[in-house]
Amino acid sequence: MKGYQKFGLIATQILFGSGFGILGFITFAVLATISFELFGMYLELSASIFYSIIGGYIGMLVGVCYTGYKFLKSKNRNTEFFRHFLQCLLGLILGLGVFLFVAVYGSRFTNMTTNFLASTLPLVGAITCFNIGLTKQEKK
């Protein structure tokens, strides 16, 4: 894989991961509100925020994997997608773990920095782990 192909893949994964993450955030917030209203239940603000955050991370995972699948499909390596998907999921979880560690033990950060890290670290973890093994196998 050439340098511009790596940059293009990572750039599209960042864009799609961020875009799908925002879409997942909004979609889960709306769906949670509508479903609770339909069943006549009261939805607390903290629960709505929690569902939205879960939806954002799921959307982020879908965006990164969608772009990666398109790349793998163009290289006729569709069979490797499940392994890369699991790597991406592991990277997202590791990114969340690093963020939680930083948020708990790095209390001197401002709210803006913490919010930036909450969205950036899981995305970086997902992209990094998804792309592990792509360049090494491409050199064959």
Convert the pLDDT of each residue in 33-78 to its tens digit: 898 888 888 888 888 899 999 999 999 999 999 999 999 999 888 8
Contact 87, 127 (CB under 8 A): no
Q: How many whole angstroms separate alpha carbon 94 and alpha carbon 57?
A: 13
Residue 35 tokens read as 């479903």
Is the pLDDT at 134 greater than 90, yes or no?
no
| Both tokens assigned to 130 | 């998804």
Q: What is the DSSP letter of 106?
A: -
pTM equals 0.86
